[in-house]
Structure 1
């Protein structure tokens, strides 16, 4: 079995339905805003079409999301969630007035963690 980068074991069972919980950055309550809830639902619909998974149920709470999904053979959970979270966070950042991702560099020119600049207030 291949280990994830932080060495947590991930087990994928064929024809299994998975319960997934994903949290917002620093538990920020983004989904108190109806606009962000609507955006989440639209992005989830798009991701479902693109990644061909079955969505049995979902529950949006202020600072996290619960999903019950059955991935297709074509895409695993990591691929599905990566696409969904990347697109949703980009769209939320646009609405909040955040600038594009800005990368900082070490002296050697290596990329470090990408940062965003956001003027929220």
Structure 2
């Protein structure tokens, strides 16, 4: 990972994106998305992850996160390792996964090309954490995260994407709890 993209200051919030190798559209199945949500929740409860925003797209994830307890690099490492193992197992065991052989072959191929892995690689190596030091950048990234499914043409309104914290920000029941940022500043641009 480049020196430009690292978790440097644990007192800051970060915008983080990470994607499945080969940009595989893995998250078209509810079971796979639920593995991510459970992992986010676990990290909130046991590792001190502060989750402010998230959006699970078909091939990638966007987050705004922080932590006052554990170093962010450690949380992301553990989150990606755990979800990688759980998702790999879920793909292998899914009785209706029509793309199983193709996906497993791509994951194995990616893993064999990277000495940091044992047998397979699910996530791309980069997280690209960006410090959100000012309100302008923070709310620009928050809006970007929530507008992502709209820009992709999946939904017309941000709050209609079930696997996003936009629901929480629009006063609807979200799938998991997030710490809301100041609502008076959150505007759609």
Output the TM-score relative to the length of structure 1.
0.71
| Alignment gaps of 5+ in structure 1 | 1-5, 105-110, 117-121
Deviation at 1:113, TM superposition (A): 4.5
CA 1:112 to 1:28, structure 2 compared with 1: closer, same or farther past 3 Å? closer
Runs of 4+ aligned structure 1 residues displaced above 6 Å come to none
Change (3 A) 1:113 1:93: closer
- The reply on whether 1:53 has 2:49 as its aligned counterpart is yes
C-alpha deviation, 1:13, in angstroms? 2.8
- For the pair 1:79 / 2:83, whether they are aligned, the reply is no
- Summarize the Cα distance change of 1:46–1:7 in structure 2 as closer, same or farther, 3 Å threshold: same
TM-score, normalised to structure 2, is 0.47
Q: How far apart, in 2, do the equivalents of 1:62 and 1:86 lie?
A: 19
Q: 1:34 aligns with which of 30, 35, 48?
A: 30
Count of aligned pairs: 102
Long gaps (5+) in structure 2: 94-103, 121-189
When you count helix as a share of all residues, which structure comes out higher? 2
For 1:38 and 1:7, locate their aligned partners in 2 and report how far apart those are by CA, in whole Å: 30
